[in-house]
A and B are shown apart, each in its own frame.
Chain A
Amino acid sequence: MARASRRGRGKKKNMTPLIVGGLLLLVVLLAGMLFFKPSARSSSSPKPFNIAQYRQDGSRFASTGNRYVLEGKVDSIESHGNNRLIAVSMSNNRNERLPLLLLGTTKLQINITRGDTFIFDVSCRTGRDASGNEVKGILVVNDVTTK
């Protein structure tokens, strides 16, 4: 009886840590997924952009459908055919310039002018050159809004 009773109490005690441990593990997993895989976010909600990481390895940002929101001042605009390449200086780091590609197919509601600050909605894509080689980690502008 006593033995059964000890078994019964022991069973009750062992279940609680397991449940807590499971919950903690779940939280850690969720946090890890958030940290290591930003592209896993939903495309419907733009995320902040880490330019230092981008300089190291831009293609990491290139998962399909990932969008990022950047605030920056237009430093230069170069037109190449219908496309335009915009160099944007980041508001938090004046020694950085981020290249953004504005494709001719993208329709904007505003004019982008040099020296003005805008909020850019971009996605990271990989293109192909004429030989079929990859052109990785290119930030393509989806939309632009004024600040």
Chain B
Amino acid sequence: MKALHILPLIPLVLGAAVAQMPNSFDASGRSTQAQSGVTNDDPNRVGETPPPQIFGMELPLLDPSNDTMSYGGGKFDIGNNALVRERFEKYLSQAPDDTEQSRLYRKNLEEILRYTQRYTKRSDTIGSKTLVKIGTGLYDLSAYPGDGGQAGALASAIVSALDVQRANRRRDNANAELDKEIDKLISKTNTLTNQNTQKGSRSSKTGRGGGGSGYTSHTYLIAANTSKIAEKKAKQGANEASSQASLPIAKVNYQAVVVGLLLQRRYDHAVIGARVYRHVFKDGNTRVDLDKESDAYKMFTGISGMPPTINTIDTMASNARREVDQSIDAVYGALAQNKLGEATNRLITAVATGEYMQSVATFPAKERQRIAEYWRLRKRALTSLNARDYATVEQIATEMKKMDVDFDDSLLLTHTTGKKRQSDFALRAAQKALREGNEEEFKRLATEAAIIWPRNPNLDKGEKEIARLDSYEPQKEEFRVLYDRKDFRTIYKERERFEVVAFDPELKKKYTEVIEHVGRIDAMLAELKSVAEQDRTIGPSAAYEKLYEMKEADSRYAEDKPFMDEFNRYASEAHDFVTALRDAADAASRSEYGSALSCYYRARCFFPKSNLANKGIKTVTQVIVDAQY
């Protein structure tokens, strides 16, 4: 199963190995495939058999269980593979190949296939006339542009093989003739030799000399025949050598064409070539002669575990044809159920596996349009994800969810939500750094937030902050004037505008002082207001005393208008308490210590926990008891 999926991807690798690499990377250097949920560092890969290689390049392995492909140590979504994507998009944009010419082409191709199938089933031997007919039919097919000349190439291979076979037969016939001629010459030579022997014995018995001329004549003939025999045997040897040399070459040429057709996903052609092979080369040896050290040999043995044969190619091509048709059936089924994602994945597999198959080539335009729309969204999602445009990704995920009942948007949404929050957190930290006057940290964090989510709408605020950094001199001057006038309240009211002065270490201290001072006042006033409202009897006295103590401790409080307004208001509301305290102080200043103590006692009656009253009581009491009367 896996082996069948590898085959269609082989030409993709051969055609554009570079395109197999991840086509984009994020800032951290990780591939977008990894971002889309397909990781390069899958721990399950430990102990896996490494993918086979061909011509020094690793072959991608398709895992049908999750539509991922292993390549270059990583796992990739086949829908996000650059080359597959390109081919698939081209396919979607094309009109179905359903012209009269294409129908005729496929009809003739099917006819040739059935023709070879018939002979295969009957195990008959195809005669040379039949082979010529197949070759002629293939030549006719090559006239169709969509064939890409592949049928012609196969036809040429068949014809070339037949030519070699014919040449061999001619040489065999010639050798047979030579055999006959050699036999005749041997027979003649034997006769002449016998005659020579007989003549020699007669002349010795009669005692006549001078019979030398007849003897000499036979001897020459014998020598000439012997020479001719040697020449003809040499010719025979040459013919045999030629036959033995041309046959393997013809086989290799033929096999190369068939293997090439398989690699180019021309499965119909490959099946025809494989089935015709045994009728062209009748020696019964169907083994594909590949160098055992070659990558191609390793590829075949890696897939089937057996040495490659023509029958292996036949089986592979036949199964691939069946798989493609099943994938297309699955596409129709998924579309009927409104499962666009499933349909898209199955169609990608079908196109990648058998782009030239009839079921793929004639896939209807309307259905292609539906899948193209879904594919466009998927592509936009990947592009947006790569661009870290998370708002758009979420929008696309919603659209895809509407189109595909099975679409699981949780992974995308979880990813985008996480990234958006990460960016916002960085921005918040940047703003905090800005408030603390740490410009370097602010820039670093703002940049980090922009990298994580470049289109974060909150980045505009960061830009404004940066712009303010560039033009904060006027604010510094204005701040100095207000600070010297002790107009802290104005600074506090416009503290965000004056925040930039904090980049100046000297002004930062003053800025912090002002913000803390006025903030403390406001916090205290709010707290005292609550206290005064809770207890109308004691509350105003307590509030007055607190503000009085603050004012006495720090003269700056008396310069704050809201502070003094509240102080006076509480003084009015706690009139008896305040009057008692003032009278006590006045009496003490006149040495009227009895009256002073009495006033302090009165003040304590209005606010029993009064620090001022208790402190006065303690002081005056000491004076009274220490005096002499």
Q: Which residues of A contact B (CB under 8 A)?
A: 51, 54-59, 78, 80-81, 83, 85, 87, 94-99, 101, 103, 124-130, 133-140
Contact = CB atoms under 8 A, between A and B. Distances in A.
Given A95-B605, A137-B593, A51 B598 contact: yes
Interface string B594-623: 110111011011100000000000000111
A133 B587 CA distance: 15
Contact of A97 (B590, B593, B602, B625): B602
B206 interface: no
Nearest to A133: B591
Contact of B595 (A55, A87, A128): A55
B583 A55 contact: yes
Contacts of A80: 621-622, 625-626
Given A57-B595, A136-B593, A125 B602 contact: no
Contacts of B597: 99
Given A78-B621, A85-B621, A95-B606, A58 B627 contact: no
A61 to B, nearest CB: 8
B627 A129 contact: yes
A130 B605 contact: no
Nearest to A83: B625
B550 interface: no
A137 B594 contact: yes
B406 interface: no
B373 to A, nearest CB: 89
Contact of B598 (A98, A133, A135, A136): A98
A51 B590 CA distance: 18
11 contacts: A85-B625, A96-B602, A96-B605, A99-B621, A127-B629, A128-B627, A128-B628, A135-B593, A136-B590, A136-B593, A138-B594
B629 to A, nearest CB: 4
Contacts, number: 97
B592 interface: yes
B592 A57 contact: yes
Contacts of B623: 129, 135
Given A81-B625, A139-B594, 9 more contacts: A54-B594, A55-B599, A57-B592, A87-B601, A94-B605, A103-B629, A128-B627, A129-B627, A136-B594
A89 B399 CA distance: 85
Contacts of A56: 583, 595
B599 A101 contact: no
Main DSSP-derived SS at the A contact region? strand
B526 interface: no
A129 B624 CA distance: 8
B626 A138 contact: no
Contacts of B598: 51, 54-55, 58, 96-99
A138 B593 contact: yes
A98 B179 CA distance: 162
Contacts of A98: 598, 601
Contacts of B599: 55
A137 B595 contact: yes
Contacts of B593: 58, 135-138
A98 B601 CA distance: 8
A37 to B, nearest CB: 19
Contacts of A125: 629
Contacts of A135: 591, 593, 623-624, 627
Nearest to B622: A80
Contacts of A126: 629
A134 B601 CA distance: 21
Contact of B624 (A54, A85, A94): A85
B448 to A, nearest CB: 67
A136 B591 contact: yes
Nearest to A98: B598
Nearest to A75: B601
A89 to B, nearest CB: 9
Contacts of B605: 94-97
Nearest to B620: A99
Given A51-B598, A87-B601, A95-B602, A101 B625 contact: yes
Contacts of A139: 594
Nearest to A135: B627
Nearest to B595: A58
A55 B603 CA distance: 12
A115 B606 CA distance: 20
A87 B608 CA distance: 14
Contacts of B622: 80
